Structure 1
Amino acid sequence: MRPICPPLMLFAAGMGTRMGALTANRPKPLIPVAGRFLIDHALALVDDAGIDRVVVNTHYLADQIESHIATRGLIVSREEPEVLETGGGLKRALPLLGDDPVMTLNTDAVWTGRNPLVELMEAWDEVRMDGLLLLLPVEKAVGHFAKGDFLMDGDGRLERANGRLGPVYLGAQILKTAGLAEIEAEVFSLNLLWDRMISDGRLYGMIHDGGWCDVGRPEGIVSAETLLRAPA
């Protein structure tokens, strides 16, 4: 069966406060890593996966991001006067995204190995799943400092790690979005939707076939460039 190719949302609205002075005058997606802006690392994955409907949310220094992507044919969802977090931002953008399910991808990481978006599309099973998250064991997640986000059973079904050692969410996923309409808040995290999917036994995960580095802090730039230089 041919994999689905859903619309995709790039999360690019955050303030980037953990980057300190580096984001005083530029948004985090426009920080260069290995000669390419972070958002361009993400867009390279999008292009390689053949995704043709992409929405980018913006807020902090939005004009800079929108100017940078102006020639790309992307759809912008500007969040004003406040940033809406991942759940609120995705809910706001649903009329622009169209078809369900949708994919989301963070713009503050670099990847090696298989294209994470292709991995998700190939593994998606709408009969069993309401959500599919891409993960790595915590010891392989460069730049991540918590014990882990989830526990995964033998079928890939997820539950919260709650302080136990488990794989880390990498910021790439496929989701059915109907449940967003049941959340009345305007500003909220996708964690609320995930918890509902976990309760229904319909949130799944898979392990990424490659490397990943979170570029959420200044030291993450060096770690990311080291990862990208490593032999495949």
Structure 2
Amino acid sequence: MENKTNILIKRSVCILYYAKLDLTNEHGAGWIGGNALVFFDNHSDLIYDHNQKYVFYLVLNHPFKQDSMISIFIPEGSDVHLENNIYPNCLVKVIEHPISAESTNTTFANSSLIKHIISAGQLTNDEESMDRSFLIKVGGTPRLIQNEDYYLAKLKEELFSFFFQVDEDGYPDTLIQEDGSYPFYFGSLYIFAKAGTEIEHPISGFWQFS
């Protein structure tokens, strides 16, 4: 509980995660690339949005709930993705769900990414994290690429607070296929949530690139 307070309330520390090539088929704290989870084999309705198609991006064990995971899906097609990148119109889907294994179903696989595991989280001083490369940062202060108020305005109005970010600066060289592209244009995705006694309603707040 003390660490949770320091991570999400005082924001003096954070949790950092890294990606490494999956040579053992062990998933660590989750994985990026590869297939979506078995859970979505029977819950694809949570992903589809009218005519917009989605691909799987990553899944992370919920850092504060032992029985939950958080999956992220991104729109297929860069134009619509680029034009809808700020809450409440950010099209990136963030779904909290029960723990599940990776599916053999390739329906949502992202052809641009080579599957990597996500390492166990490392508790780190927040100030020190600002000078480090990482794949995911939970809690602490977000490391923004563009420090503009309009990214945060609606989120603050609706009492959402920073939960975690996924930073493409932390991609290992082996993650992107030779003919692939960076989903966020070598940028960073910022996830927000309602943070009280529990972390509720994780959403895609916005994504940025330079």
Task: Pick the structure with more strand per residue.
Answer: 2
Structure showing greater radius of gyration is: 1
Task: Pick the structure with more helix per residue.
Answer: 1
